[in-house]
Structure 1
Amino acid sequence: MAKQERLGDKPTPEEYLRAIICAPIYEVAKKTELQEMPKLSERLGNTILVKREDNQPVHSFKIRGAYAMMSQLSDEEKARGIITASAGNHAQGVALAGKNLGLKPIIVMPKVTPDIKIDAVKNFGGKVVLHGANFDEAKAYAIEKAQKDQMTFVPPFDSPAVIAGQGTIGLELIQQYAHLDMIFVPVGGGGLAAGVSVLIKQLMPHIKVIGVEPKDAACLKAAFDANQPTTLERVSLFAEGVAVKRIGDETFRLCKEFLDDVTLVDSDEICAALKDIFDDVRAVGEPSGALALAGLKKYVQQNNITKKNLVHVLSGANMNFHTLRYVSERAEIGEQREALFVVTIPEEKGSFLRFCKILGNRSVTEFSYRYSKLAKDQKNDAKIFVGIRLMNGLTEKNEILNLFTKNNLNATDLSNNDMTKTHLRYMMGGRVNQKIKEKIFSFEFPEASGALVLFLETLGSSCNITLFHYRSHGADYGRVLCGFENKDEDIDMYLSKIGYSYREETQNIALEFFVK
């Protein structure tokens, strides 16, 4: 084996190539399988392959970068102690790497980290320290402690050694299948995208490397637009493994030079990709793990790609089992197999029957209605919420909308309205029977014991709550829809106290139909 190099702050492409080739990761990691996805290949008209990083000992690719960096530390650096911060996969990678190197690293994790992830780190030999309400606070504490106690900090992505470790995936891919046309990789902090692209562009530059990000956590796209790393105000927690507010400096430098393109996907498209992976290879990925496939499917559709050899990296499978309920519900919409509408029909006997006859033989997946009697001088119309199974995607959805128009029914497509999919389709009740000044907000917060109580204690004692909806999906985050009576008070002042991410939804069109 060639001698492993210590990389400087900004290595040359040639230095990265040597570091990737010489990375001793197989002392702990494995060369993962490359499998074909026959069902999806036939459907998309391309050969679709999946790189099974979910089969690593820590069920994610993160072990590669963690071990690549930690294995090159000097005896003095190891003796000073190892520390990192993570809420998931990187933590397990560092813990297992430490175990194989005879070290007991300190892993700083947010206080809201689920027990399943804490236990996994402990089982790999890591010492867990819980600190802060989120990853950013945990990371700040870990860096502060590393500086104070002169410990060695292991970054999750923005380190040349870590990037080189992740780049070994690219080397394996061209060894396993030399006829690739495109490689799709998930992007969080950018370590995987940087490592794979810098390797591929030196050895087989004709292969395109495409980065994939969630629309609501697109830190690389924001950096490309600004021509420098920039910090996002908020990121969604659904794909927790890539919920990064700011791309790394070194990862951005490499992605800017070597990455061919970046594409964005939403949560529904990720859920549909999770279902595709399960259907084809019977693997249960995590949301960030299926991100690359979601991007592949979208890129193929947008660019009319056919008869190509395309691979995506299934980057991890540390899935909370109960999250599958949410995934199952959203996958059909993500694959355009279900449409959601609000339709206005006359508030009179026989209206439901006439409406169902208009739909014909189509399968209704959901139907919600609540009686609404107005004053005598007002027209009594009923607002119904209906889900319809689609056999022909967007084309059929447009046909249904035209069918409603032809029958003089006012209908609005809510299939892409997140408020509808997250809250309204599960809510009971109706409009308030008096006029009130009201503001409505949606919240997203790390799910943990006491999180909901903290929310209510902070806001419930300060503001008059007019609407409240919370439904646990068994995920690592909670979603709340909450209305407040607006008495010319500074509601934002109270909202800032809670420390959770929020967005005002008062003008959301879905609320106009059923709530306001």
Structure 2
Amino acid sequence: MTTKYIKKILEAKVYEVAIETPLDAAPLLDDRLGNRIFLKREDLQPVFSFKLRGAYNKIAWLSPEERKNGIVTASAGNHAQGVALAAQHLGIPAIIVMPKTTPQIKVNAVRRRKAKAVLFGDSYDEACEHALALSKEQGLPFVHPFDDPEVIAGQGTIGMEIIRQHPGPIEAVFVPVGGGGLIAGVAAYIKYLRPETKIIGVEPEGSAVLYHSLKAGKRVTLDKVDIFADGVAVKLMGEETFRICKKCVDEVIRVNTDEMSAAIKDIFDETRSIAEPSGALAVAGIKKYVEATGARQENLVGIISGANINFSRLQHIAERAELGEDRECLFALNLKEKPGALKAFCRVLGPRPITEFNYRFSDPSQAFVFIGLAVKGREERESTLAMLNGKGYRVKDLTGNELAKLHIRHMVGGLVKQDINEVVYRFEFPERMGALLDFLSHMADTWNISLFHYRNDGATYGQVLVGVQVPKAERKAFQRFVNEVGYPYTDETENPAYHLFLGDPDRTTCD
């Protein structure tokens, strides 16, 4: 029964370290969306995240005997800082296992709280296995990041505050979803007191563990997760959190990287604070909900769950925000290779601002152009595409092409006008020393790397595009290598953006 959580939430001890965060109005979003938007500001907590609530509540309810020798946990970020602060406040030792890929700023934050940071593995799952082994070996309580009743109750105090701060009707509360601790706690409390209020989870499209689990009627383990919103990059949600979500969650909305980036900008415009990608999920979900339902004059609450973001990620986020707001479009097109062709094209474009222009000579008769244009929305993008095609230009819309956005726009050029048996894969390399060497060490000596492009947006994984010359007879062996090396990947060999600007344009068209 979820009703047991009401008492737990009311008795939670979170306020010994956490603050009651404000529920701020968002007038700019109100005007744009035609609804009354409220932002629950968990980014203002002492560790800039809601995670402090659940971590402290769990540790505070341990008996003196249980916690006398300390506690252990695993986390790559916000939960780690919450546990570290809770343990420091209670005067007990804490061991926090973090992946080797964890940015140094987060490791330092944990150590400043006098916790012991142990770096192990490349992912949360590997770090968690090691933490559980330490817990068993040393007899220390393990503080789970989400799948624990006391953690869930601690996060549920956010729902309690929302109801107290907004006593009037609330049509929907939008909650970021990772392992499910936050949405389970908030949903259990609000649904008990306000069953008419919708609880809507918001997840990245590439790590929608709750969406797929609810659809299947059971917990689903994802094969891979998108790491842009690393705070919610979970392959399997908690058993207890899923039980509560099945009973209390009305809907799950999925959003993409561009929509999260645009939401980060929206939050900045409203508050002058910078949310992390997972922290901006709720606002992205509100925008998508309003667009899909046509909701008007409703009271909609979004939980801004955290603001622990590396400064180096901001350039990438700003770049993607324009696409997420449909204020920029990316096109590929053919231009005749003759004097005056570019001038004629610009005259056809008219006053539309060009945000990016990349040109590559292809052959004496044609050139390929990668162009970014500022637009005022999806309708203008579509009308511009139709207009250019109507004027005789062969244009392909790459606005939704992830390869184009991550790599091609930064490396246009280098066409290969012959068959070199090239396969092209997009990888996520862990940000640690030796990741590339590990990759190359597993690769057969007979395969030659023909293309390589690396981008880091300040996350724990780098985005890598690799071209490798592999004879057709060895493609199955290469696929086995790709699977065994263990890095998340996408096969981009047939992506038209690759063929237009890096491969053989005769294998695709701009139509």
TM-score (norm 2): 0.95
Q: How does 1:489-504 map to 2 (within 5 A)?
A: 489=474, 490-504=477-491
Q: 1:366 is matched by which residue type in structure 2?
A: E
Cα offset for 1:108? 0.6
2:408 corresponds, among 404, 407, 424, to: 424
What count of residue pairs does the alignment treat as equivalent?
Answer: 499
Judge which range, 49-58 or 124-133, deviates more.
124-133
1:475 corresponds, among 459, 483, 486, to: 459
Map Cα deviations across residues 67-123 of structure 1 (whole Å, 9 max, x no partner): 111111112211243110000000011111111111111101111211100010111
Q: 2:216 is matched by which residue type in structure 1?
A: A
Residue 220 of structure 2 is aligned to residue 235 of structure 1: no
Cα offset for 1:348? 1.5
**2:255 touches 2:285 (CA, 8 Å); kept in 1?**
yes
Residue 73 of structure 2 is aligned to residue 84 of structure 1: yes
CA distance in 2, matches of 1:442, 1:81: 42
2:381 is matched with 397
Cα offset for 1:460? 8.3
Cα offset for 1:150? 2.0
Cα offset for 1:472? 2.5
Q: Secondary structure at the match of 1:503?
A: strand
Cα offset for 1:148? 2.5
1:386 is matched with 371
**2:3 touches 2:188 (CA, 8 Å); kept in 1?**
no
Q: Secondary structure at the match of 1:42?
A: helix
CA distance in 2, matches of 1:152, 1:41: 45
1:60 is matched with 49
2:113 is matched with 124
Residue 158 of structure 2 is aligned to residue 173 of structure 1: no
CA distance in 2, matches of 1:162, 1:502: 34
2:240 is matched with 250
CA distance in 2, matches of 1:133, 1:289: 23
1:145 is matched with 134
CA distance in 2, matches of 1:457, 1:423: 24
1:7 is matched with none
Q: 2:429 is matched by which residue type in structure 1?
A: F
Give the share of equivalent positions with the same residue, in percent. Answer: 49
1:41 is matched with 30
CA distance in 2, matches of 1:435, 1:401: 31
Q: 1:237 is matched by which residue type in structure 2?
A: I
Return 5+ residue gaps in structure 2 as ranges.
504-511
2:306 is matched with 316
1:414 is matched with 398
1:104 is matched with 93
Judge which range, 36-45 or 269-278, deviates more.
36-45
Q: Secondary structure at the match of 2:310?
A: coil
**2:275 touches 2:304 (CA, 8 Å); kept in 1?**
yes
Cα offset for 1:21? 0.7
Q: How does 1:19-30 map to 2 (within 5 A)?
A: 19-30=8-19
CA distance in 2, matches of 1:394, 1:265: 17
Q: How does 1:175-190 map to 2 (within 5 A)?
A: 175-179=164-168, 180-190=170-180
**2:97 touches 2:131 (CA, 8 Å); kept in 1?**
yes
CA distance in 2, matches of 1:352, 1:452: 40
CA distance in 2, matches of 1:123, 1:76: 26
Cα offset for 1:125? 2.1
2:146 corresponds, among 144, 157, 181, to: 157
1:442 corresponds, among 426, 446, 454, to: 426
CA distance in 2, matches of 1:315, 1:337: 26
Residue 367 of structure 2 is aligned to residue 367 of structure 1: no
**1:80 touches 1:152 (CA, 8 Å); kept in 2?**
no
TM-score (norm 1): 0.94
Cα offset for 1:357? 0.7
Q: Secondary structure at the match of 1:429?
A: coil
1:511 is matched with 498
Q: 1:288 is matched by which residue type in structure 2?
A: S
Cα offset for 1:331? 0.3
Q: 1:43 is matched by which residue type in structure 2?
A: R
Return 5+ residue gaps in structure 1 as ranges.
1-11, 375-379
Residue 453 of structure 2 is aligned to residue 466 of structure 1: no
Map Cα deviations across residues 251-310 of structure 1 (whole Å, 9 max, x no partner): 111011001110000010000000000011101111111011111111111111111111
Q: 2:282 is matched by which residue type in structure 1?
A: A
1:346 is matched with 336
**1:339 touches 1:390 (CA, 8 Å); kept in 2?**
yes
CA distance in 2, matches of 1:348, 1:121: 60
User: Structure 1 residues 460 and 471, CA, compared in 2 at 3 Å: closer, same or farther?
Assistant: farther
Judge which range, 73-82 or 260-269, deviates more.
73-82
**2:69 touches 2:93 (CA, 8 Å); kept in 1?**
no
**1:32 touches 1:53 (CA, 8 Å); kept in 2?**
yes
Judge which range, 453-462 or 187-196, deviates more.
453-462
